[in-house]
């Protein structure tokens, strides 16, 4: 399968004739070059973001989390979600139920065991293409007035920085998004499809990342193994890369480590950023590693009050979505 075939963007030969697609590409190009305006103190387009020193991802424990997978559970089939009104799709793969025992971030000497229900996870992080369709209403004909549940979802303000920093938009992970912006996208997707889309919990995220592995990294105990599965400080050249260009984990998930960091609801009920990023080192690529935004990711935000949608210092933060199966069984891991 080729590079774009492994991403959650499905583009056919008729795209050049599709009006909404041309609108998406046009807006993506504008954002890539100039943004809406540049915030005072924010990194100019093309310059890599820097993780604030007090926000370097940390792991509650040096011991890897332990996972147990229920191998005898009924298997779900993968599916492709089509975003109506666009040419965009999101590939979703199932992860089997099981459990994970994680260090308690409040007290690393203690552990917390979490049951994980069967769940669908997007194969790659949400791209700028998907987010722009949500942000700019590209799923609707020009001039249309929305009346559906999806139209009622509160949308972010338009970005006031070159949010992609010139790294790329088509097929690249969305970055600079706050957890509120990520949550709103998931709510919009749920309203459009009638399915239970949301952001993952930290337990779900790490369980999916590990894909049954209990080694230091999903790819093994040696940090050298990270090169095959992730874009991080050692190989990313301080920029994001096309989604799905590294090897997937055992469950078919790409970029769980590296490329963009990913929002998850922490086991301590805090919103945390998981998976390291393209500017993070190997230590931050451990599945246990977490970063909690204390406000430093909006230090140069010119808006008063600070924007709840965009992160001026968060040019390495994105997200992926999960979907609870419509089987009547509640997904666990919260």
Is residue 286 classed exposed, middle or buried when 0-12, 13-18 and 19+ CB atoms within 10 A define those classes? buried
Full DSSP string of 87-105? S-EEEEEEE--EEEEEEET
Confidence (pLDDT) at 7: 42
- Whether the predicted pLDDT of 181 surpasses 90: yes
**Domains observed in the chain:** 3-324 (3.90.1580.10)
Collapsing DSSP to helix, strand or coil, 318 comes out as strand
Which tens digits make up the pLDDT trace of 106-131?
A: 888 899 999 999 999 999 999 999 99
Which tens digits make up the pLDDT trace of 144-167?
A: 666 678 888 888 888 766 678 889
Joined tokens for residue 283: 């230590």
Is residue 235 classed exposed, middle or buried when 0-12, 13-18 and 19+ CB atoms within 10 A define those classes? middle
Q: Read off the pLDDT band of 98 (50, 70, 90).
A: very high
CA 332 remoteness from chain centre? 20
Round the CA-based radius of gyration of the chain to a whole number and report it. 19
Decide the pairing of beta strands 271-274 and 290-292: antiparallel
Which residues touch 328 (CB under 8 Å, ≥6 apart)?
A: none
Which residues touch 205 (CB under 8 Å, ≥6 apart)?
A: 262, 264, 274, 275
Question: Per mean pLDDT, which range of 46-50, 58-62, 84-88, 318-322 is the poorest?
Answer: 46-50
Collapsing DSSP to helix, strand or coil, 60 comes out as coil
- Whether the predicted pLDDT of 6 surpasses 50: no
pTM of the complete model:
0.85
Integer Cα distance of 94 and 246 in angstroms: 20
Q: Read off the pLDDT band of 9 (50, 70, 90).
A: very low
Which tens digits make up the pLDDT trace of 205-240?
A: 999 999 999 999 999 999 999 999 999 999 999 999
Confidence (pLDDT) at 36: 33
Full DSSP string of 219-272? TBSSGGGGGGT-B-TTTSTTS---TT-S---TTS---SSBSSEEEEE-TTS-EE
- Whether the predicted pLDDT of 272 surpasses 90: yes
């Amino acid at each position: 399968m080729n590079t774009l075939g492994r991403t959650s963007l499905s583009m056919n030969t008729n795209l050049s004739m599709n009006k909404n697609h041309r609108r998406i590409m046009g807006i993506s190009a504008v954002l890539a070059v100039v943004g809406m305006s540049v915030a005072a103190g924010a990194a100019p387009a093309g310059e890599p973001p820097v993780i604030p020193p007090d926000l370097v991802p940390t792991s509650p424990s040096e011991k890897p989390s332990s996972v147990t997978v229920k191998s005898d559970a009924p298997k779900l089939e993968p599916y492709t979600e089509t975003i109506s009104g666009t040419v965009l799709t999101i590939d979703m793969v199932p992860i089997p139920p099981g459990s994970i025992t994680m260090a308690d971030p409040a007290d690393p000497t203690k552990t917390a065991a979490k049951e994980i229900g069967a769940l669908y996870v997007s194969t790659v992080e949400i791209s700028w293409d998907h987010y722009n369709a949500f942000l700019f209403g590209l799923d609707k004909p020009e001039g249309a007035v929305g009346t559906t549940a999806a139209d009622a979802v509160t949308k972010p303000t338009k970005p006031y920085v070159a949010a992609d920093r010139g790294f790329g938009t088509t097929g690249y992970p969305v970055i600079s998004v706050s957890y509120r912006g990520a949550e709103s996208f998931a709510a919009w997707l749920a309203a459009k499809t009638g399915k239970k889309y949301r952001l993952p919990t930290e337990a779900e995220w790490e369980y999916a990342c590990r894909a049954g592995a209990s080694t230091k990294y999903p790819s093994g105990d040696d940090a050298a193994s990270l090169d095959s599965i992730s874009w991080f400080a050692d190989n990313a050249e301080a920029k994001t890369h096309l989604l799905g260009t590294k090897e997937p984990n055992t469950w078919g998930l790409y970029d769980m480590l590296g490329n963009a960091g990913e929002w998850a609801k922490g086991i301590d009920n805090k919103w945390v950023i998981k998976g390291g990023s393209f500017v993070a080192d190997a230590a931050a690529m451990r599945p246990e590693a977490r970063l909690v935004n204390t406000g430093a990711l909006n230090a140069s935000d010119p808006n008063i009050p600070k924007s709840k949608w965009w992160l001026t210092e968060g040019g390495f933060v994105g997200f992926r979505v999960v979907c609870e199966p419509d089987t009547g069984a509640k997904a666990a891991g919260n």
